[in-house]
Amino acid sequence: MLSFFLKYKFFGMVLLALSIVIIYLFYTALQPKKMLPIYQPSMVSQELVDSTLHYKKKYHTISDFELINQNGKKITQQDYMDKIYVADFFFTTCPTICPIMTKNMAEIQHEVINDKDVMLLSHSVTPTIDSVAQLKKYALEKGVVDYKWNLVTGDKKQIYELARKSYLAVKTDGNGGPYDMIHTENFILVDKEKRIRGFYDGTDSKEIEKLLQDLQILKASYGE
C-alpha cells in the first residue's frame, strides 16, 4: 500500500512541476514584446530640430554622409550598413561634458567589442580644429578601437546639418565661429534602417545602463 502512495506521490510532483512550466510558458507568451519607439522630429524638443522638420511625423532617417575618421579613412553610411550604432557630438578640446561622454562611450565600446552588429560614431563639432592628426591623438589617449569606433571630422556644414536635420542633437545651426554649435550630451541609438530609436544622457551612468538594455531589446527585434 505504501509503495502505491509513493508511486502516485512521485507522479503528482511531476505533474505539478509540468503545470508550473506550462503556466510560465503561457505567461511569457502573453507578455507583449518590448519595443523601442521610432523617433520622429515632431517627438523631439523643437530647439534641437531644424525648423523645416518641426512637424515631420514619420519616415525620418539619418541622411547619407561622407566624413573622415581618425585614420584619414573616408567614412560613409556604407560603413554602417546593416549595423546598429550609437552616435554623439563632441570636440577634443572640450573641458566640460565631452571627457565624461567619451569615457562613457568607451564603456559602451567595452561592452560591445565582440558584437559585430554594433558600432560607434562620434562627430567633431569643431572640424576646423579637430584634424585627422588631432583625432588620432585623442583616439589613442581614450582607448578608441578603430574597427569599432570612428571619430569623424570633415565639412563643417555637413556635420552641422547632420546634427540638426538627422540626429536632432544640437541647439544652434553653426553659422558663426569655430565654437558656435552648442551640442547636447545626447547619445543617439540608431537602428539598421537608419532610424533613431533612443536618446540618452551621455554623462549619466544610469542612462548608459539604459542604453545598453535598449540595445539588447533592439537586437532582439532583429532575432539576434
* Same domain (yes/no): 17, 120: no
**Quick check: is 167 in a domain?**
yes
**Residue 100 CB contacts under 8 Å (≥ 6 apart), including other chains:** 202, 203
Q: Are residues 91 and 201 in the same domain?
A: yes
User: Residue 179: what pLDDT?
Assistant: 55
What residues make up the domain containing 25? 1-31
| 3-class DSSP state of 150 | strand
Q: What is the pLDDT of residue 3?
A: 55
Q: What's the pLDDT score for residue 105?
A: 98
Res 13: pLDDT: 54
Domain shared by 6 and 95, yes or no: no
The distance of Cα 27 from the centroid of its chain, to the nearest Å, equals 31
Those residues whose C-beta lies under 8 Å from the C-beta of residue 158, and which sit 6 or more positions away, are 65, 66, 67
What pLDDT, on a 0 to 100 scale, did the predictor assign at position 25? 44
What is residue 26's predicted lDDT score, i.e. its pLDDT? 44
What's the maximum distance between 2 C-alpha atoms anywhere in the chain? Answer: 94
What is the rounded distance in angstroms from the CA atom of residue 84 to the CA atom of residue 151?
A: 16
Structural contact between residues 159 and 125, judged by C-beta atoms closer than 8 angstroms: yes
Determine the pLDDT at residue 37.
97
pTM of the model: 0.82
* Average pLDDT by stretches of 10, the chain with 224 residues: 51 51 44 81 87 86 97 98 97 94 98 97 94 98 98 94 91 59 87 98 98 98 86
- Determine if residue 110 is labeled as part of a ligand binding site: no
**68 plus 105 within the same structural domain:** yes
Spatial CB neighbours of 220, under 8 Å, sequence gap ≥ 6: 33, 34
- Residue ranges of alpha helices (H) inside the chain are 2-30, 97-112, 132-142, 156-161, 205-221
Number of domains forming the structure of the chain: 2
Residues 11 and 119 in one domain: no
Is 98 part of any known ligand binding site?
A: yes
The reply to whether 36 falls in a domain is no
Write out the H or E segment, with its range, that includes residue 67. Answer: strand 66-68
pLDDT at residue 184, rounded to an integer: 85
